[in-house]
Structure 1
């Protein structure tokens, strides 16, 4: 796994001078094998059962170092500090096993306008013996002073299926399992340097924890698409709502995380 602490330091030192209107035509590849101990650590912090099947979100952490290398590499137009992870979509074509070596490919794609700036995708694919088995699309927003949105009417939170109490060290525990040591997740002190009152949970932990709540009830091939709405402050408590028991809507099985505001909204499709 890449040394992400060094990459974040590089981003802090050099990133604020970056300007540009195009994504570089760059990509990175890696052959990875799964460390069972690392997989177990990830499964425990995210609420999955420990076993030899990879949670659908797990290959994301295997490829995250490559993603950060691309976003701190030559020609990338935006500073890494300040990028907002606004969405993530993952599709798996079949279950993946810990014993299977994975070929990862990471590329940047689709720089496009957003009402608050510009957004782009980081696309990670995993293949086994030349067959694509898993695809991850993370969407990032670069805020650029776009017109402020009218505040949306305050919605009532959906009835929770469960309530989760999140400890203050959750960001550090997930960082140990994922390698993502962004300072906003690690402590009150480092988060306040970036404008947060205290540490916030990783968005990909929130997604993984929601998917773990469906474990054992999903098909072999499926897709999970989420939108990250607002940070989850640590420590804290969130309500998880799921429409699984009532069956899918036309769009699929919907789920959400709420406290006094929506933090995540997602849908699972087969």
Structure 2
């Protein structure tokens, strides 16, 4: 039976040459059945700021889906090198509260290419089933920088004006290491200034999915039982830093954003709404 792969060996394969050319990603799917570990769930909630003892945070199943996506992207004939890929956006749909102890069957597959003014974007698709119904879905969009292949996408997510919720976050240099310890995502750009500089960044970066999870945790008291959460990742969060979270009620959901403390840089923009 297939198990969830470890991420460190997959990152090691990221430096190997590719043989897939520049065509579309091959259509492949990986399937695994997994049950959340109670200790890991608690640590994830603590690192991301969620309450403990309740259902799984809507972003938690990403910890199972992401290694499967990485295995697909690390294949020799996958056309885009792992090093240098940019996580542009992520959308999660959670159809109902997920109990930490229930077994879910995950299916992760390659999606379509998408034109982009800064290169070629593509999607990775994931879903989790309880045996009867799909209870969780995720779409992650990644960019391979290069020649333009399309127009700039429209700004589908609203700006946060006149927020009715704000928080100031102090993010220490250890933020990336803390999330790596619980998620298994030990990409060197998130760990230390030295390892980040080797890959072209002045300091370590917070994980995009940690930033999304931390923003959702700030809205934990208003999250619908069945929800859709969409975010665009707009600029990296360099550690250590201070950041500002803001949100405003819009219709039956919330628009939210994470910006630098002085408001000059927008790191993330998102929307949460009931899933109908």
Is 1:234 the equivalent of 2:234?
no
Spell out, residue by residue over 1:64-95, the C-alpha distance to the aligned partner (whole angstroms, 9 max, x if none): 11010000014210000011000000011100
8 Å contact 2:160–2:246 — kept in the other structure? no
Q: CA separation in 2, counterparts of 1:265 and 1:219?
A: 19
1:14 to partner: Cα distance: 2.6
Q: Which runs of 5+ in 1 are unaligned?
A: 150-154
In 1: Cα distance, 2:83 partner to 2:161 partner: 31
Q: Are residues 1:12 and 2:18 paired? A: no
The match for 1:187 is: 192
Match of 1:264 among 261, 268, 276: 268
Change (3 A) 1:70 1:156: closer
Task: Give the SS at the match of 1:98.
Answer: coil
Structure 2 gaps of 5+ residues are: 153-158
The separation in 1 between residues aligned to 2:272 and 2:30, in whole angstroms, is 29
Structure 1 equivalent of residue 177 of structure 2? 172
Kept in 2, the 8 Å contact 1:18–1:79? The answer is no
Label 1:29 to 1:156 Cα distance change in 2 as closer, same or farther (>3 A). closer
SS in 2 for 1:58: coil
| Number of the residue aligned with 2:82 | 80
RMSD: 2.0
- Decide whether the 8 Å contact of 2:224 with 2:273 is kept in 1: no
